[in-house]
Chain A
Amino acid sequence: MTDTGKPVSIALANCAKTFADGTKALEPLDLAIHAGETVVFLGPSGCGKTTTLRIIAGLEEPDAGGKVLFDGVDVTHLPIEQRNVGMVFQSYALFPNMTVAGNVGYGLRIRKVPDAQVKARVSEMLAMMQITRLADRRIDQLSGGQRQRVALARAIAVRPRALLLDEPLTALDAKLRDTLRLDIDSLLRSLGITAIYVTHDQAEAMALGDRIVVMEHGRVAQIGKPREIYQQPATRFVADFIGTMNRLTGATDGGVFRCKAGIVPWSEAPATATEILFRPEDIRVAESGETANLQGKVASAFFLGDRTRLFVDVGEERPLVIESTARRDFQHGEAVGLAIDPRGLLVL
């Protein structure tokens, strides 16, 4: 589709960050990002994900002892303007004093690329982002979605060695986020560029990341493929942050787990388990005639069209979340039997 610079591998070694006021934003971090890979930093605000991105970008320097390597070359003290990385910001950071085409071509003009080549590259970028008709517009004449397309085109135009995206979709409304997420996904795949994407939105992380780095309080909580993070969360924090997690408290008793609402057969249950976790898709409302593991009462039911999201009270601190595709209404207070798929059970 369009060429970029050769993608780099990026390595962080012992990168910590303490801000001038003494706040510890990042605990010492080691991380290897392969060339051409899309890595998503995911976590709540203040978890250190943006700080990590800014260290990679060259907008922040790590504390003494930390190192940033691009293809094995130490770039720790190289400022961002010499790192050749493309950056996309949550607030777009488009230059209001230039047109769309002016913004997209700026990086090339700084590099003293001849005018004709700048022009050609700019039209190529605008076409790729489907914004050719906006070329001569001023930035304040663009919608949020259009702005972020311009920002992407501008970042890619200079053929960066890596593309760094800092919550690029956060400022947009839900529907547009979905469209742009698809576009970014196909863009990253077609470019084959090393990309680092920061977000607090787990759906974005799951959709875009080859690997996800879940962060909490300046530390890495887990690194893995989206499926691993979802199905085998390493900590309770990861389990709760990604998707919905149901929990039952009780005790193991020879191949079963007993809780207030019933008995869950689980031959592999660890003897010491006092709490088991599972996803909404691993529990369903038992149909008549089927063996129910648990008994509960419907606390709330939300009809979502393709399914109904049920909150079922089973005498625990929090009701269980269950998604039912049954073609029927659920009444508040209705007694339901629940069947659990033991393959989805976890202990953390």
Chain B
Amino acid sequence: MKRRGLFLLQLGFTLFVCAFLIVPMILSIMAGLTVNYFVGIESGLTVRWVMEVWNGYRDTIFLSIGLSLACLAATLVLGIPAAYVLAKRQTALTRAIEELLVMPVAVPGLATALALIVTYGTLSGFRTSWAFILVGHVLFTLPFMVRSVLAVLMAIDLKTLEEGAASLGAGFWERFRDIVLPNCRQGILAGSLMVVTLSMGEFNMTWLLHTPFTKTLPVGLADAYASLRLEIGSAYTLVFFVMIMPLLLAMQAFAKPRPAKFVAEETE
């Protein structure tokens, strides 16, 4: 009886916390679909606000998608080889580099952005292009790719696997293609989803780095909140949810660890 009471108490608390987080989301989504938020749901439901967001801000959506994919490409090209080297050479230097890589995550995005502007702001062609934002995003997301791939590489016995492949005649590139890449697929996938999600939602840095012609989705969102009616801002949030939720769900699915299996010896 006592245990049942405790269970109910825990269940209640969990539901309360969930409600605390989920209710604002639902309200926000409803606001984006309501004709007049101040009148309430009686005013009726509409997709008018969503359409207005689409018409006014679809460029920011495309820019954000393009930016996050470019960011993904850059972190794959830079991050996987970096993780490979860090996994293969465990020295004081590589460990220091591993720690330094996390700096852009620890330092506030605004500070990183300011540093970029101070350094490269005078290169006008670069400053006004979306590539400028891309640099910021790559700086910010690269550690997530490296860490994610590195974690998988450290968990498998990479050295022996590569030695095994080498003994069978595989040269460096063959080993990298056939052994290293396929075996860190989980880490690459998890890292990729993380990078795309983070790049898509990045605001701090982007807010400083953007120009009126290079607005990303979150910057547009801030714009909409600040200057347009609440329903449009909320509809914008809804669009953002629709884009980011599948990524988050996929990330959860890939993050699940595969349970280690024990296979008993068979008697012959």
Contact = CB atoms under 8 A, between A and B. Distances in A.
Contacts of B169: 81-82, 84, 107, 110-111, 158
Given A89-B160, A91-B160, A97-B179, A81 B266 contact: no
A132 interface: no
Nearest to A155: B167
A106 B178 contact: yes
B263 A81 contact: no
Interface in B157-178: 157, 160-161, 163-171, 174, 178
A331 interface: no
Interface stretch (A37-45, A139-147, A307-315): A139-147
Given A87-B163, A94-B164, A110 B170 contact: yes
B2 to A, nearest CB: 43
Interface residues of B, number: 26
B156 to A, nearest CB: 7
Contact of A80 (B167, B179, B265): B167
B261 interface: yes
A27 to B, nearest CB: 24
Given A144-B265, A145-B265, A97 B183 contact: yes
A106 B182 CA distance: 14
Interface string B130-144: 000000000000000
B267 to A, nearest CB: 10
Residues of A contacting B: mostly: mixed
A110 B265 contact: no
Nearest to A104: B168
A179 interface: yes
B183 A95 contact: yes
Contact of B160 (A93, A141, A142): A93
Contact of B163 (A80, A140, A146): A80
Nearest to B179: A95
B53 to A, nearest CB: 44
B167 A57 contact: yes
**Most chain B CB within a 10 A radius of its CB, from A81, A85, A89, A155:** A81
Nearest to B167: A87
Nearest to B180: A97
A73 interface: no
Interface string A86-116: 1101010111110000000011001100000
- Could you say which of B160, B163, B169, B182 has the most chain A C-beta atoms within 10 Å of its C-beta? B169
Contacts of B260: 140
Contacts of B166: 59, 79-81
Contact of B174 (A57, A84, A110): A110
A81 B263 CA distance: 32
Contacts of A82: 169
Contacts of B178: 95, 106
B163 A89 contact: yes
Contacts of A107: 168-170
Nearest to A97: B182
A59 B163 contact: yes
Instruction: Kindly name the residue among A86, A143, A164, A176 whose own CB sees the greatest number of chain B CB atoms within 10 A.
Output: A143
Given A95-B183, A97-B183, A143 B264 contact: yes
Contacts of B185: 97
B170 A81 contact: yes
A50 B19 CA distance: 61
A179 B264 contact: no
Given A81-B170, A81-B171, A87 B268 contact: no
19 contacts: A57-B167, A80-B167, A81-B168, A81-B169, A89-B164, A91-B160, A93-B163, A95-B161, A95-B165, A95-B178, A106-B168, A106-B178, A110-B168, A110-B169, A110-B170, A140-B260, A140-B261, A158-B168, A164-B167
A-B residue pairs, 7 tightest by C-beta: A107-B168, A93-B164, A87-B167, A97-B182, A143-B263, A93-B160, A110-B169
Given A95-B182, A164-B167, 12 more contacts: A57-B167, A91-B157, A91-B160, A93-B161, A93-B164, A95-B183, A106-B170, A110-B170, A130-B268, A145-B265, A155-B168, A173-B265
Interface of A: 57, 59, 79-82, 84-87, 89, 91, 93-97, 106-107, 110-111, 130, 140-146, 154-155, 158, 164, 173, 176, 179
Interface of B: 156-157, 160-161, 163-171, 174, 178-179, 182-183, 185, 260-261, 263-266, 268
